[in-house]
Chains A and B, each alone.
Chain A
Amino acid sequence: MKKQITITINGEAFTREVESRLLLVHFIRDELGLTGTHIGCDTSNCGACTILIDGMSVKSCTTFAVQADGCEITTIEGVAQNGQFHALQEGFKEEHGLQCGFCTPGMIMRSIDMLNKNTNPTEEEIRWGISGNLCRCTGYVNIVKAIQYAAKKMAEPQETAEA
């Protein structure tokens, strides 16, 4: 059975007729072509598919598209704003927080939510905070450093944009 839904993704509203069984991750990847959200396991263990729904990090492989009807979603493609990279994106680059990069979008989306709720996390809080996201390449060492880099940067006073 098809149902009409409207989802705002990265600031743009999309209205589509979808099967009730359609998973949100497939809606994002296949319907909208936003392939930065990855699929690693189908069972919400690996976290590669993590996105933000109304600001909260959610694993989109175990969410139906119809459940996100009327919601605001952010995917990795919507994280940079006006050509400015997010502090987490910078951190992952500066600190070598990735190798193959497959887990990276999910790690960043999860970390955005974590840092929004806890602006000054300890290393242990970071490690528990990303415990729902698996990385097979880096041993997590530089991922933790990347998140620490971002937390520090986000705590700095924001420069006001020059008009």
Chain B
Amino acid sequence: MEEKKLKLPYGIPGHNLTEIERVVPADEPPAWPINDKLKVVGKSVRRTDALAKVTGAAKYTADIQLSGMLIGKFLRAPHPNATIRSIDTSAAERHPGVYGVHVITHHKHDGDESGPGEFPEIKYAGQPVAGVAAVDMPTAIEAVKLIKVIYDTKPFVVDLEEAQKPESPLVYDAPVDQQETDGGGGSESGLGLNGNVRGPSRGGGPRGDLEKGFAGADIILENTYRTQVHTHSSLETHGCVVDWKPDNITIYASTQSTKGVRNEFANHFNLNKSQVRVICEFMGGGFGSKHSAGDFGLMAGHLSKKTGRPVKLMLDRQEEHISGGNRPNSIQYYKLGAKKNGELVAMYQRSHGTGGVSLGAGVGHIAEAMYTCPNFTTEQYDVLTHASPGAAWRAPGNVQGAFGLESLIDELAEKLGMDPLKLRDKIDPSEIRKVERKRGAEKFNWARRKKANSDTGTVKKGLGMAQGHWPRIVHIDSTAEVRAYRDGGVEVRSSVQDIGTGTKTIMAQVVAEELGLQAEDITVSIGDTAFPDGPSSGGSIATGSITPAARSAAYQLKLKLFDQVAKNLGADASDLVAENGQIVSKKDAAKKVPFKEALRKMRYEQISASGSRADDYEGFAYGTIAHGELGSVQFAEVSVDTETGFIQVDKIVAAHSCGRPLNPKQIESQINGGVIQGIAYALYEDRIMDKATGQQVNKNLHQYKLPMSFETPEIENIIVEEYPARSNTDAYGIGEPANISTAVAVANAVYNAIGVRIKELPITPAKVLAALNKA
């Protein structure tokens, strides 16, 4: 591959900005300067999809109405552990208005699990058993009730600690492996299973010599922290419409990965990827839970294939709680050794967590990666329980892990009599977090923080802070196409979907910047696998993956256009630039033509160019994911009522970086959303399982408590512009970082208010009162 040298901005403006020379592929566009020298990128342009969303014109999956469409509905098992003896669907099939019934079996491509017997084992209450397709929802519900299933029920366990006991009922009787999906989850393969306890996973492996480290420590801390199960509760539930035609199938899915759903469908039904088209024009949130085709998607596929009609299968809110995914809980034990000056010399972490019947409850990555303690060991165990499978949720593992790690570091600061910020200045090698701590502390006025439990009144104020780490991940397999039409229209296309964060808008901005146009000049057509493959929207990877591809495509299209207009202008194509809606010669400003005029004179009705994500500049190569650091630091101010135990979060200052910020208002909105989900995790939300019945008690939105508008504190954002010089946009995502450190910053602030540390989330009034009574 041909290469060239490029000088790119490098570092943090206002701190250490400089320039760096990188060797890059020869067809990459020239380097962009920093944001204040750009016209469209880095500006808070309005969202391109706002009008569709404020008028009700935006069509979500549930809004899709196709001719002859049937409504699908699941029959779900009521028992948490059972074997199915028989299933009789005859009455349901005879029911007027029913067009098809599908039973999940172990037949090839019918079940996602192989095993003895005709039907999969039931391993959690709410597991799908069969589905019906009927003319409408009331008929489908009636039909589901007519399916007769005989179960042999067995003992079960849903509690994280009880499941670890040797006498506990087993979820799997042989070791299990689960593949990571597009959005994370899964776990290291080949780990041992002891009862219900699988592992340990040791992350990247131990560093140094733990024993020697502890021997040299001046202070040793040991602590255990606990976090709860948290359900994503996207406002739009999971679901899809499958339209199965003899030669191809079209799937309208609420998904974070159109490409992933396509691949899973093709694999499950033994079709070519070219025969499967997945469309997601608008989706109502996912937060990590909507990466796969889902059991509902495959069921809709079977029912549509069987009936020859389109089938819509949307989960209701109860189903969403019991099978739409969740963030696994955790019990985290830490032993930390440090010197009197704060230097970390040894850290041991052991965690147990349950994602129900699924793996992926490890929480050790952040402890391993954020502070470079020379002697470090992590042992992370998945505990299997008879509960519904977990799913990735904004920074999977790191949100739980941050609660343990950053509580522990706060405790160390307290023990050493050091300011928590100063301690982190000493132990944290990250340059970006150093700047975030400094700018955040100024905005938050950290200097006013008093010693723990200083307030004398009933309501006590507290200030706390915490940090987050998330790797900068990009998927190289990301392509965009840019088209220009003779009538002046410019369009960018990719299968990448907009989960709601504004991917459409930033793609318009990037293409507009490259072509010297405005964002509103660009039509963004995404969320359709008929277009070139884009990345999934998860792991904060979409922005860093697709925007360089979109810029490359726009750049290649621009070169084609320059070739066409150069002769007419009497200029060299290599002297032309596109700016302010004009194509103009750098050498002679009189030689120019409006961009749209140039399109009107094209030889063909339409020209097109594609661009794919280049390897990270002098970074990571194809076939790998690229890693860097998306650091974050958040500060929290709380008021704790010591008589009622009630906590109010008064203020959050969130300092974040995501490389080159493409649209500050969109980034701020995502940070605000990450903060409120963090507050929900800190104080309110908790999936409660009834140990006696194995059922979720609060599978609704009145007992499962989402924060409301008046529970949102004042939130101030600091976006630290940073240029790692790794791609042609150098922009990265913010979804994960925004959610990592809020809950533990709140917990640290609660400690500062009342002088008692609460080591278990959510911090409910009852826990506050119990802790105060004990103290």
Contact = CB atoms under 8 A, between A and B. Distances in A.
A139 B672 contact: yes
Given A40-B235, A127-B709, A134-B701, 20 more contacts: A33-B65, A36-B55, A40-B317, A76-B54, A76-B55, A76-B56, A85-B55, A88-B54, A99-B501, A100-B234, A100-B235, A100-B499, A101-B282, A102-B500, A128-B709, A131-B710, A136-B285, A141-B672, A141-B715, A144-B709
* Chief secondary structure at chain B's binding surface: loop
A130 B709 contact: yes
B54 A41 contact: no
A137 B49 contact: no
B97 interface: no
Interface in B47-73: 47, 49-60, 62-63, 65
A37 B44 CA distance: 28
A139 B285 CA distance: 13
A28 to B, nearest CB: 11
A4 interface: no
A17 interface: no
B233 interface: yes
Contacts of B237: 40
Contact of B55 (A42, A89, A128, A137): A89
Contact of B235 (A21, A102, A128, A143): A102
Given A45-B700, A138-B673, A40 B57 contact: no
A19 to B, nearest CB: 8
Interface string A49-92: 00000000000000000000000000111011000010011001
A40 to B, nearest CB: 5
Contacts of B502: 99
B701 A46 contact: yes
B706 interface: yes
Contacts of A75: 56
B283 interface: yes
Most buried by A among B60, B287, B672: B672
A108 B54 contact: yes
Interface string B670-682: 1011111100000
Closest 4 CB pairs of A and B: A36-B56, A100-B500, A102-B284, A101-B53
A160 interface: no
Given A102-B236, A102-B284, A137-B669, A45 B46 contact: no
Contacts of A92: 50, 53-54
B673 A96 contact: no
22 contacts: A21-B138, A33-B65, A38-B236, A41-B700, A76-B56, A77-B55, A85-B55, A89-B54, A93-B47, A98-B47, A100-B234, A100-B235, A100-B285, A101-B52, A108-B54, A131-B710, A138-B669, A138-B672, A139-B673, A139-B674, A139-B715, A140-B676
A133 B57 CA distance: 20
Nearest to A130: B709
A131 B708 contact: yes
B321 to A, nearest CB: 10
B540 interface: no
Given A41-B700, A136-B287, A131 B46 contact: no
Interface of A: 21, 29-30, 33-43, 45-46, 48, 75-77, 79-80, 85, 88-89, 92-94, 96, 98-105, 108, 124, 126-128, 130-131, 133-144
Nearest to B676: A139
B235 A136 contact: yes
A79 B339 CA distance: 65
Contacts of B665: 96, 142
A147 to B, nearest CB: 10
B316 interface: yes
B666 interface: yes
